[in-house]
Structure 1
């Protein structure tokens, strides 16, 4: 790195430091040198350039004006060249530089400015040469680390040999793929994933107590799938450090692509297992072998859990199966997580009482919700299969329970098939459009009446059915007189054509309210 101090230390230039300027100014990078005798060089001096001058402007402007002009342009300092007519640097220039904290160096009359320009060119060329040599050397080391299977952590270790920086690699699912000198918690990992999800991806992310961190995207198969994180803001990174980080990010794309290929193969095998279980027949004989490949004992009890997102019409979100797999890995439970079109099915060994499944599923749902903020995950549980040959009924039950829960805006997040009400199972078999039409035909008149009159007919009907048709209990819950309740329910009968005093009409109204709650 070319600095004023490194220039002053070159004995061949015979430079004398008269003013060091502000603290650290002598050690800041210098962009280039600029020879000028203009009274106001500011339009032509670039940020970080060192101004060379013989002071021919002295008869036109004061030293203070010239120094302010150089400082205003962002010049890194001034080199004053002595000449026969001026054997010492003017006192006014020294005072002005000291006043403005601008570095001032003096060069003897025997040394031409071309010698300074040549020295600077040599220094910059050598610096660039060293940077290129370092990049080639580091590239070889990175390629070796990748080829030997060192993973993301190996890439970071190579980078840390050159730069003492806290580093981590995080993918778009908020998973840590490797760290070196950095330890990110769950919230910080999520902040990185959020930054990656932006279009275009963020260049910096705020990580709470760790401050701002620089983000270098890692692309694989055309997308941004991960990021190399440096726990330093971009402004505090040197150009060499940024080049090194960008180089490492390019090599990390190879590692991420390799991991994605492995995951894709595993997901394909898991999906094939799901098809084998559902299809039965000759392929059912392959199920035990596939289960063993995932570390699941096919001869012992097996549980099935299906996960989906409520009120989410599109296909299963990318990464859900991976998130479920990581949850069970953290729990120490081998699992096969296979993605369907609208859900992900997890098959796992279960040698505990069946009532232990719902709490485990609740923890799973909370973890999925943390990974996919803004969505409402639900989980359906099937019965326990005593061995692999009995998986099909448990799988179908778990998916059906999940499908019923996924149609609800509120209510339980986890349910076993055996705990679902019969009416919900029957509604789950109906076409959604048909059931909505049935519900709207009965309830829309009540909703319209309540909207126009500010009434409570729908609330009254719900409360009446919730209290099993008991007049006194319903009136007390609504804080109204029984006669008022009778008048309201009479209006319900008039608007819907259903008499709440008849069992079959109550069933229609109850189903209409249930469908309304689901949709």
Structure 2
């Protein structure tokens, strides 16, 4: 922006300072010049405009009144143009400006006000041209950085050529994607993530010891996925700095969209890998090649783990990425596939079997740190010696994971071998056998529940979960004990199995567990 001082340096304007105003006022940017002879121009004067006047208002208002009106409108100062009727700047105007601490300049009678207007226009045009050239140049550099795969770090390097600002790029999961001149703590990263989770996200957030930070939102596919964080309050940034940061945020949106597309492709291929493992048959022959494409050595033993949250049915966006980052940091080659209920990882496992549980516990702790308030659980399905044997550990890992989810506050990590013997037996069965067992026993109950809106299956599970204790089960279901007896009598009638007999109770229990595994 141009200033009064820049106009003073133009000798052709023949300007002279009569009152300099407060310290630094002559170097402050001015918005424009405003010629007026109105006694009160405040209604038409914008903040930081420089007033040009010949004093024709003298006689209709005092100099002090005119200066007060200019001051009230936050004018940048006054330029008085001498004329034959007023060959010198009125002393009362000089005194009024001095009292109001408002800059006052005097221009030679030989120089018209239009010369100042032309000078300001020329300076403004040059500044705009310089700014536009800078935007174009920076845009070319940003496009080059993105196209060459420099990522978010490359974008920040381009910005730092022009701006000495502390910058970082943080995604909605609180992960630092890049930084330049700024180091955010784990707590500050989570504060940024919390801000991005709000709807709508704020354009500024408090980062504690780092102070207030401006957020320039980075979106892809219509949502806010990250932010370009500047560790300065938005009000402290110049218009040029804001323009540059907004421009960079738009280019970061391209980078985020590209990353999301790559992740989506990887997730789709990883999901297909699990389908190949489960389906067997001809598609199983594709499994080794798919594993190698993810960097997993098929000559190594392969472990399968399943992770989910204990407090809900659905996984959260970004969970698969967090799990993948964990294994990458541990140096464990892995394929990670995210589903609606769990995340499955197939690992190249060269370590002793005893290291599985400690590593899984670190994984659970790391995920818990990234998803506040959620309790992750990890099921260890065992190890296959080659890709053809992956189906069994995959089924086991998911079964353990689902068991841990239903276990409330129990352990966060378990292996299949640590589950009950009945689970080992069920886990060895194929899906058709499990379905036959479940349907053969539970079909009449489910048909009755669907037709009558009853809760026989839920009642049966609660009774077995409470070890056949009538009073405890009734209390858990908030029903009378007689109601519970009537419901279980109906179960006996429909299935031909009496819950008071051990053998029949085992049949009912195994049918429910088989249904849960399916």
TM-score range, shorter chain: 0.7 to 0.9
1:446 aligns with 2:463: no
Say whether the 8 Å CA contact 1:311–1:408 is kept in structure 2: no
Q: CA separation in 2, counterparts of 1:347 and 1:135? A: 47
Deviation per CA, 1:360-393: give whole Å up to 9, x if none: 2222122222222233322211122233232211
Aligned to 1:25: 25
Q: CA separation in 2, counterparts of 1:408 and 1:79? A: 81
By how many angstroms is 1:357 displaced? 1.8
Cα pair distance change 1:448/1:326, threshold 3 Å: closer
By how many angstroms is 1:293 displaced? 2.2
Q: Is there any run of 5+ residues in structure 2 with no aligned partner, and where?
A: 428-433, 447-454, 464-469, 489-499
Q: CA separation in 2, counterparts of 1:160 and 1:196? A: 24
Q: Partner of 2:361: helix, strand, or coil?
A: helix
Q: Which moved more, 1:434-443 or 1:212-221?
A: 434-443
1:251 aligns with 2:251: yes
Deviation per CA, 1:228-277: give whole Å up to 9, x if none: 22222211111111111111222222222222222222212211211121
Say whether the 8 Å CA contact 2:474–2:481 is kept in structure 1: no
Deviation per CA, 1:185-225: give whole Å up to 9, x if none: 32222222222222222211222222222211222233322
Deviation per CA, 1:400-432: give whole Å up to 9, x if none: 111122234433222222223468999999899
1:397 aligns with 2:396: yes
Deviation per CA, 1:289-321: give whole Å up to 9, x if none: 22222222222222221111223234x322111
Aligned to 2:99: 99
Aligned to 2:112: 112
Say whether the 8 Å CA contact 2:206–2:213 is kept in structure 1: yes
Cα pair distance change 1:62/1:436, threshold 3 Å: farther
1:388 aligns with 2:387: yes
Q: CA separation in 1, counterparts of 2:286 and 2:305? A: 21
Aligned to 2:328: 329
Deviation per CA, 1:462-497: give whole Å up to 9, x if none: xxxxxxxxxxxxxxxxxxxxxxxxxxxxxx988966
Aligned to 1:169: 169
Q: CA separation in 2, counterparts of 1:444 and 1:111? A: 99
Aligned to 1:69: 69
Matches within 5 A, 1:101-500: 101-314=101-314, 316-421=315-420, 436-438=458-460, 442=470, 443=472, 445-446=474-475
Q: Which moved more, 1:181-190 or 1:44-53?
A: 181-190
Cα pair distance change 1:355/1:291, threshold 3 Å: same
Aligned to 2:51: 51
Q: CA separation in 2, counterparts of 1:421 and 1:83? A: 105
Q: CA separation in 2, counterparts of 1:61 and 1:182? A: 55
Q: Which moved more, 1:189-198 or 1:72-81?
A: 189-198
By how many angstroms is 1:49 displaced? 1.3
By how many angstroms is 1:74 displaced? 1.8
Q: Is there any run of 5+ residues in structure 1 with no aligned partner, and where?
A: 451-491
Q: CA separation in 1, counterparts of 2:329 and 2:389? A: 27
Say whether the 8 Å CA contact 2:380–2:415 is kept in structure 1: yes
Q: CA separation in 2, counterparts of 1:423 and 1:82? A: 104
